[in-house]
Chain A
Amino acid sequence: MAIDLARWGNDLYAGRRSYDIVGRRRYFFGASLLLSVVSAVLLVAPGLNPGIEFRGGSEFVVTGPASLEQQTAIDAVQGISPEESPRVTTIGGDSLRVQTARLSDTEVAEVRDALAEAYDVTADDVTSSFIGPTWGQDVSQRAIIGIVVFLALVSLVMTAYFRNWRMAVAALVALFHDLLITVGIYAAVGWEVTPATVIGFLTILGYSIYDTVVVFDKVRENTADTLDQSRYTYGEKANLAVNQTLVRSINTSVVALLPVAAILFVGAFILGAGTLRDIALALFVGMLVGTYSSIFLATPLEVALREREPQQQRQRERVLAARAAASGARPEGATVPTTSADPSASATDGSDALPVGRSARPVAPTVGALRPGQHRGTTAQPRRKGRR
């Protein structure tokens, strides 16, 4: 596997193999839009299921129980309301506190009886009350203020660093896309939203931007001299950058996802409901989507924005004109691509590493590669007439 990946990486780096991600951005935009819409619907239809920490709930205190075994209480509560995952705490050494989501009055009575029976006390020794949220409005409000300020600052920082606001816009769009899909999937799974989940979402916030910045850094490096040459368009250069970072993106996401997957597995299948499971699901989905969006959403979007710039448009025309001139000798010269991609690129996303279209290449050499990053070796050297 490793060998394949390394060789695949070589091909990607050298441009021998190239996935036309930027050129086919419409498909990816469509896919992202679809996913986002589905997530938005999921957020409305099943909706999120906020936990005790957000909604408050019911609290039972068992005074002088026969044992302080916590599992007994969990079993008792789940006997009444199977969905519940109560939090059980010993208080002061001789009483137990059981917190559940908000229950109806009849359920409260039932749980009380069940607890009394389970711990071998009278029903009078079990008191119940409602508790308010530990994660109240004020916490959420402050967190949202923090996020908004962070997003504003990060836009400024990215604009300054990349010297272009379009990258910041693309990164933010990708970020919202990631968050929306993560939250949507969380809603679809239907697990309770706990503070751990929210912290998972916040981690995604950081990770998504982080991953996008890494990809954009390569894009920026590759496209720095776009306007000084007339061989490739901005989109082609950006596409090469994405292809070149593909191996890194895969490696990073695998390395990041492995521990998360381990936690998710242990949390979901061994421990059941709990902090670990919640945070791991949010992270797993978020990191996956975050990596995807950096490559397939953020970069194409950035290119789409960039190519609206007048100077980029002029440059593109120059490139296309130069290509048309170069292939003017060809009979099928009219098929010079109008999209940002080389015609051969679209055909090479299979296992075939050979650029197709070679056969169509005229004997008259085109100077230089048609895809950025492509190496044509000595053939790219200008041929000089013998001087001696």
Chain B
Amino acid sequence: MLVVALLGTVLAGSRWSDATLTPQLALDLEGGTQIILQPVTTDGSEVTSEDIQQAIGVIRQRVDASGVAEAEITSQGSNNIVVALPGRPDDATLDLVKTSAQMQFRPVLTYGAPTPVTATETPAATPTPGSSVDAGDGTAEGTDPAATEGAATEGAAPEGAATEGAATEGAGAPVVETTQAAEGTTLSSEAVATATEPAPDPAATDPATDPATDPAASDPAVDPSAAATPPATDAGPTSPSDAAFYLTPEVQAAYEALDCTLPENLTGGVNGAADAAVVTCAQDGTVKYVLGPVEVEGTEIDSASSGLRTTSTGATTNEWVVTLDFTGQGTREFAATTERLVSLTPPQNQFAIVLDGLVVQAPSINEPIPNGQAEISGGFTRESAATLANQLNFGALPLTFEVQSQEQISATLGSEQLQRGLLAGLIGLVLVVVYSLVQYRALGLLTVGSLVVASVLTYGVITLLSWTQGYRLSLPGVAGLIVAIGITADSFIVYFERIRDELREGRTLEAAVDRAWDRAKRTILASDAVNFLAAVVLYLLAVGGVRGFAFTLGLTTLIDLLVVFVFTHPALVLMSRLRFFSSGHPLSGLDPRRLGAPGPRYAGRGRVVRPAVGVPDDASSLGDERAPVAAGARRGGATAVSAEGLTIAQRRAAQRAAQQAATDDDGPSTSTSTTSTAASSTSAPGTSTGTAAQDAATQDTGLTGRDEQGSTR
């Protein structure tokens, strides 16, 4: 039932979507789009092959991160990069590849809600600076542009304590409750530092209008180097954080006008002038920023990686962080920047990581970082940490890309390959079917049925995934699926062989199925767990084609487990109740005689189960013969019981009787009974055990008889 329901879901999912009923094919089978990129260095230096290799690695990571489609990325000639994407990739994917990445670190001067400020009473000469930000309060709400008016009072409350006029001027300024970009992100040089969240912003950054009376806002005054120098609009900037210098009315106006909720403002592009303030948006459009001039170029990043934070004692916490290493010059610049920023008040103690003109992250500084090894923490998931590290790495490349051409390409493998491959798979399947039918008779049908269910499920899931996840089937993938037949069938074989083993022990089919399942289950789970482990590890760590392979492997392993647990086993339990199987019909594949089950088996309560020993083809008689034989009356009745199927007690009784017969000359009754049992045993063709009399007389003879029988049968 479950399987049917599952299948229904899969099929329905495919039916009511734009997806086709066939899985999408990968580059080698379907063709796709080829983009030729030419990297151009931003600093005018030569493009080295190392740069190209790095760029290829980063592009591959970006493509891999967007799904499991296998892209081909290669260098062409000395300085071109060729990216081939399967099918007709959407614009987002293409942008991912083409994006020229330039990263800069700039100090944050101020930031606010993404919507344009529609301040009614703000005079042009005194621009509204009071964007009060309650960043990182832990709530997961996004910015609510609609709350602009109502939130003004809320925003004013914390400000009121620190600033007099700015707060009221700030009325009408948007309030950012929580932003993605600024959400509790902190930066510390040491692993032990905990993620502290930026305090609510008390500082109104309007030193230009009233620097002297607003100590909280006079940031340059806090800056030790500039403590003695009051900001003056006619002097040069005291530092890149000098809001007084950089927040010119033009910048302010641009800042107010900027609407980060509009998609066209989020496409990124060129970074602004390196020595001037810029107005920009966060990548997700939830915040807008005014940023100071560039302090550290992204190219000064040596490497960036993401991982779980390790404390100074070496223990691993479960908090995801991104670690940064700067180059020599970057270390010096970054040390100077952090030293200055750490003493500033929020939001100016933050610096923004700008990628392609958009702010990726704006962490605040917890402490000066002199050694060039920074750690960004706070609110990361595994994915977001990896993404940031990826972006930081990408930013380390001093390259932009020019798209040389973008064309459709055909499949590298002809449709012939796929057809022949499928044909080969079909032939293989037929062979498997024939083999399992020969080996397991009717039980083989169950193998075939399970394989069919597994293939239908696999097909369904792949179709579903190619629709939702962009999974694409390549020819190695097809081969992998065909190979999976073997691994899936192995689960059944392990199970069936177990059942046969239990039958050999002399159990009835139902008992054998129960016991075999208990044991086979463990084996199947253990071996599949190993396979699944391989799939997960390779999927997480590897890139490119290996990742696609791992995905297929994991998928087929899971489906194998699913099919065995919810289809094969229940079906077998049902089948074991059928007379055809439980009676051990020779065609059922579970014929105890062929499996060499030992002779009679004590069934408890004085009853004995005899295996079928009749004419093999006569199924109807088998049932009767398998019926438990009621043991005769214990006392004095041992000789009356059929010789086969003696319990220990009965055998002993027979033995005693024989001894008695030998010692006393009271022969007639016992001797006749002995001959009668002997006759009955020899009359049955293919008798499995020696008679009780023989057993009783000499044990070794009995054993020889059994063994001879075993070898001749």
Question: Does A associate with B in a complex?
Answer: yes
Given the complex of chains A and B, what is the CA–CA distance between A131 and B414 in angstroms?
22
B514 within 8 A of A: no
Contact across chains for B656 and A244 when beta carbons are under 8 A apart: no
B65 within 8 A of A: no
Q: Which of A294-315 contact B (CB under 8 A)?
A: none
With A89-B411, A206-B531, A263-B424 given, is the CB distance from A138 to B53 under 8 Å? Answer: yes
B570 within 8 A of A: no
Contact partner of A138 (CB less than 8 A), chosen from B411, B416, B543, B652, is B543
Contact partner of B648 (CB less than 8 A), chosen from A200, A218, A381, is A381
Contact partner of A146 (CB less than 8 A), chosen from B53, B439, B537, B594, is B537
Instruction: Tell me which residues across on chain B come within 8 A of A145, comparing CB atoms.
Output: 541-542
Contact across chains for A206 and B530 when beta carbons are under 8 A apart: yes
Please report the total number of A residues contacting B with Cβ < 8 Å.
109
Contact across chains for A131 and B82 when beta carbons are under 8 A apart: yes
Given the complex of chains A and B, what is the CA–CA distance between A260 and B486 in angstroms?
9
A82 within 8 A of B: no
Nearest CB of chain B from residue A174's CB, rounded to whole Å: 13
A49-74 interface bits toward B, Cβ cutoff 8 Å, 1 = contact, 0 = none: 00000001001000000000010000
B417 within 8 A of A: yes
Contact across chains for B408 and A92 when beta carbons are under 8 A apart: yes
Contact across chains for A262 and B487 when beta carbons are under 8 A apart: no
Contact partner of A6 (CB less than 8 A), chosen from B52, B57, B553, B594, is B594
Contact across chains for A89 and B420 when beta carbons are under 8 A apart: no
Q: Which of B494-525 contact A (CB under 8 A)?
A: 494, 497, 500-501, 504, 519, 522-523
Contact partner of A263 (CB less than 8 A), chosen from B479, B659, B699, is B479
B196 within 8 A of A: no
Contact across chains for A89 and B489 when beta carbons are under 8 A apart: no
Given the complex of chains A and B, what is the CA–CA distance between A125 and B408 in angstroms?
19
B207 within 8 A of A: no
Contact partner of A150 (CB less than 8 A), chosen from B486, B537, B549, is B537
With A154-B530, A263-B479 given, is the CB distance from A131 to B74 under 8 Å? Answer: yes
Chain A residue at minimum C-beta to C-beta distance from B713: A7
A13 within 8 A of B: yes
A134-178 interface bits toward B, Cβ cutoff 8 Å, 1 = contact, 0 = none: 111111001101110110011001100100000000000000000
Q: Which of A215-245 contact B (CB under 8 A)?
A: 217-218, 221, 244-245
Contact across chains for A146 and B596 when beta carbons are under 8 A apart: no
Query: Which of under 10, 10 to 19, 20 to 34, or 35 or more describes the interface residues of B?
Result: 35 or more
B679 within 8 A of A: no
A325 within 8 A of B: no
Q: Which of A88-112 contact B (CB under 8 A)?
A: 88-93, 97
Secondary structure of the A side of the interface?
helix
B34 within 8 A of A: yes
Contact across chains for A217 and B526 when beta carbons are under 8 A apart: yes
B165 within 8 A of A: no
With A210-B530, A263-B421 given, is the CB distance from A13 to B504 under 8 Å? Answer: yes
Contact across chains for B530 and A7 when beta carbons are under 8 A apart: no
Instruction: Tell me which residues across on chain B come within 8 A of A134, comparing CB atoms.
Output: 72-74, 544
Chain B residue at minimum C-beta to C-beta distance from A210: B527
13 further A-B pairs in the complex, CB-CB below 8 A; given A271-B417, A276-B421: A92-B407, A129-B77, A143-B546, A161-B526, A210-B530, A214-B523, A221-B519, A255-B435, A267-B421, A276-B479, A279-B476, A358-B707, A386-B656
**CB<8 Å pairs between A and B, sample of 8:** A1-B438, A138-B543, A205-B534, A260-B483, A275-B28, A353-B710, A358-B707, A376-B703
Residues of chain B at the chain A interface (Cβ within 8 Å) = 28, 31, 34, 52-53, 56-57, 60, 72-77, 82, 407-414, 416-417, 420-421, 423-425, 427-429, 431-432, 435-436, 438-439, 441, 475-476, 479-480, 482-483, 485-487, 489-490, 493-494, 497, 500-501, 504, 519, 522-523, 526-531, 533-535, 537-538, 540-546, 549-550, 553, 594-596, 598, 648, 651-652, 656, 659, 689, 695, 699-700, 702-704, 706-708, 710-711, 713
